[in-house]
Amino acid sequence: MIACCALLTWLAWHRPPHLVLVFPLVLGHFFLFCNIFRVGTRSELIWSAVFMLNATVWFTSDRFSWTAVMLSQTPVTLAVILRAILSPDYHGIGCRWLNPKLESWLNQTE
């Protein structure tokens, strides 16, 4: 994934500047959601749809900037992470401390 992202970023380097950061930004969120907080697929897809809509709206408004996209996307990112942390099946970073129901969830999945 990292090599693919690096290649796509390198290929987009000579394109309009707004294309260059899309690949590392999405890859960073992929690792954040899949490896750190372990959010579910449905939440990842919701985040992706909102991100695409958000970036498209900013791009078509002729006021595009990654700062604007990220500032408006941050509440969605935080909501996805918070939803994952508060779920009874949370098993990401700090799960033993944040999820008192983890043991019962793990016993049900075996």
Question: Alpha-carbon distance 78 to 84, whole Å?
Answer: 10
Q: What domain range is 34 assigned to?
A: 2-109
- Tally the domains of the chain: 1
Predicted local distance difference test score (pLDDT) of residue 51: 93
- Bigger pLDDT: 13 or 61? 61
The percent of the chain in helix, strand and coil, each rounded to the nearest 5, is 75, 0, 25
pTM above 0.85, yes or no: no
Q: pLDDT-derived band of residue 37, with 50, 70 and 90 as boundaries?
A: very high
Query: SS3 of 31, please?
Result: helix
Write down the pLDDT at residue 110: 60
Cα–Cα distance between 16 and 36 in angstroms, integer? Answer: 31
Over the stretch 44-92, which tens digit does the pLDDT of each residue have? 999 999 999 999 999 899 888 889 999 999 999 999 999 999 888 888 8
Instruction: Report the alpha-carbon distance of residue 37 to residue 41 in Å, rounded.
Output: 12
pLDDT digits (tens, 9 = 90+) for 94-107: 888 887 777 777 77
- 103 CB-side CA count, 13 A: 3
